[in-house]
């Protein structure tokens, strides 16, 4: 592996922050990585597409940029296939591959930035579908030893924007490949309101996976800022889940509160609504601010530092806590 010193990460994170990596290398081959790790003494940091991280300082480690490629069907059943995908594949390119092959399951997850290897980290989700719904297994390489490990669904402890890789195994496992199940006769999921509205508007009565993907791309492009134009990492905060008791108390004070009952008995409150009520939507402070179309997204208007963006995020957290007594938790990895 060719190691470069003092590499700028400006073009490797979607917030567009100009921090530096002490060392930087591209990982294209698992075998090479495994033998490298057996002798390695440097601290390590894993980078995918940099679309879910806020870099507040230089990385005093060797950055391993995942560029392991390859998509292949490894098992072919009557109704579905198992597909093995290199962790360095771009997630949306894989979605387009599945749609070309007429294989369903990932169309609702169209246009999510980043790599396939990072998708299990926060169990990516959008428009009524989460990665865990189609997940079979992954191969992870222990950074400390170079040992290969297989993680099945139950091992990953998937939850809402969460997994074991964000908890006890955070920063310890390099995800080299992921195996997902795709359906040969897909049943489309239009449960998310906006998808059905787009289909109705286009008079599509019997949508296929391509129609769903196009609808999702249309909705996302109209709602979310494009990181190529305005630095951001998508939703900065998770939607909080609170108990029924806490919710009833809140509803008495804020009768218009938006909420969703969850199967686990808790109540989910959209973080965007809470942030909007505190007056942050469209508010710019210096080089950063909360986006005008989507209050959940914090943007870099150009020239912001990671610390400045972090300070903005914590102002938002503090004001939501003060008004609603709810502590917002960042979805983005603050580094
Ligand atoms: C405009 C926009 C919209 C978004 N919309 C959504 C959405 O709808 N739903 C959603 O869930 N997310 C969304 N995201 C967040 C982001 O796209 C996902 O979290 C994505 O999976 C991150 O992939 P990445 O390769 O960029 O990860 P990175 O940002 O590079 O890394 C994220 C974390 O995972 C670790 N990591 C990365 N790759 C690996 C690996 N191979 N092995 C082990 N650890 C690894 C990193 O060290 C870091 O801690 C959005 C982001 C943006 C910018």
Q: Whose CA is nearest to atom 4 of ligand 1?
A: 234
The answer as to CATH 3.30.465.10 being correct for domain 71-183 is yes
C-alpha of residue 115 to centroid of ligand 1, in Å:
7
Residues annotated as part of the active site: 161, 235, 331
Q: Whose CA is nearest to atom 27 of ligand 1?
A: 48
> Which CATH fold topology does 4-66 show?
3.30.43
Using CA atoms, how far apart are residues 7 and 236, in angstroms rounded to an integer? 26
Q: Where in the chain is the domain with CATH 3.30.43.10?
A: 4-66
Residue 174 CA: nearest ligand 1 atom is 42
90, 71 contact by CB (below 8 A): no
Q: Whose CA is nearest to atom 12 of ligand 1?
A: 124
Q: Where in the chain is the domain with CATH 3.30.465.10?
A: 71-183
Q: pTM of the full predicted structure?
A: 0.96
**Which pLDDT belongs to residue 10?**
97
Q: How many CB atoms lie within 10 A of CB 236?
A: 27
Q: Where in the chain is the domain with CATH 3.90.78.10?
A: 231-334
Q: Digits of tens for pLDDT over the chain (335 positions)?
A: 899 999 999 999 999 999 999 999 999 999 999 999 999 999 999 999 999 999 999 999 999 999 999 999 999 999 999 999 999 999 999 999 999 999 999 999 999 999 999 999 999 999 999 999 999 999 999 999 999 999 999 999 999 999 999 999 999 999 999 999 999 999 999 988 799 999 999 999 999 999 999 999 999 999 899 999 999 999 999 999 999 999 999 999 999 999 999 989 999 999 999 999 999 999 999 999 999 999 999 999 999 999 999 999 999 999 999 999 999 999 999 99
**Which pLDDT belongs to residue 70?**
98
187: its two tokens: 């049943």
- Angstrom distances, CA of residue 106 to CA of 138, 156, 183, 188: 17, 19, 10, 10
**Which pLDDT belongs to residue 192?**
81
Contact partners, residue 204, CB within 8 Å, separation at least 6: 211
Q: Whose CA is nearest to atom 24 of ligand 1?
A: 114
Residue 66 CA: nearest ligand 1 atom is 41
Q: Pocket residues for ligand 1 (CB within 6 Å)?
A: 14, 46-53, 66, 87, 112-115, 117-119, 121-122, 124-126, 173-175, 224, 227, 232-234, 333
> Which CATH fold topology does 231-334 show?
3.90.78
**Which pLDDT belongs to residue 94?**
98
């Amino acid at each position: 592996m060719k190691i470069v010193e003092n590499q700028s990460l400006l073009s490797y994170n979607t917030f567009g922050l100009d921090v530096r990596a002490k060392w930087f290398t591209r990982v294209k081959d698992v075998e090479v990585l495994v033998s490298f790790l057996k002798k390695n003494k440097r601290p390590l940091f894993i980078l995918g597409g940099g679309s879910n991280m806020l870099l507040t300082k230089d990385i005093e480690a060797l950055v391993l940029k995942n560029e392991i490629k390859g998509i292949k069907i490894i098992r072919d059943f009557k109704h579905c296939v198992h597909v093995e995908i290199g962790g360095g594949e771009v997630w949306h390119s894989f979605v387009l591959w599945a749609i070309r092959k007429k294989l369903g399951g990932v169309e609702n997850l169209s246009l999510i930035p980043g790599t396939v290897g990072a998708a299990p980290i926060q169990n990516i989700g959008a428009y009524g579908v989460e990665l865990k719904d189609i997940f079979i297994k992954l191969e992870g390489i222990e950074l400390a030893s170079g040992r290969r490990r297989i993680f099945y669904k139950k091992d990953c402890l998937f939850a809402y924007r969460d997994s074991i890789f964000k908890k006890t195994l955070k920063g310890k496992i390099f995800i080299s490949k992921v195996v997902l199940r795709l359906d040969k006769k897909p049943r489309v999921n239009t449960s998310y309101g906006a998808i059905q509205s787009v289909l109705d508007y286009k008079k599509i009565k019997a949508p296929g996976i391509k129609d769903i993907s196009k609808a999702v791309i249309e909705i996302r492009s109209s709602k979310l800022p494009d990181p190529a134009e305005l630095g951001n990492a998508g939703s900065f905060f998770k939607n909080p889940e609170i108990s029924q008791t806490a919710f009833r108390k809140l509803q008495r004070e804020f009768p218009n509160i938006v909420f969703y009952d969850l199967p686990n008995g808790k109540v989910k409150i959209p973080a965007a609504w809470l942030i909007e009520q505190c007056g942050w939507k469209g508010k710019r402070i210096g080089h950063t601010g909360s986006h005008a179309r989507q209050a959940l997204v914090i943007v870099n208007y150009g020239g912001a530092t990671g610390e400045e963006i972090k300070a903005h995020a914590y102002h938002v957290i503090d004001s939501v806590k003060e008004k609603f007594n709810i502590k917002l938790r960042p979805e983005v990895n603050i580094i």
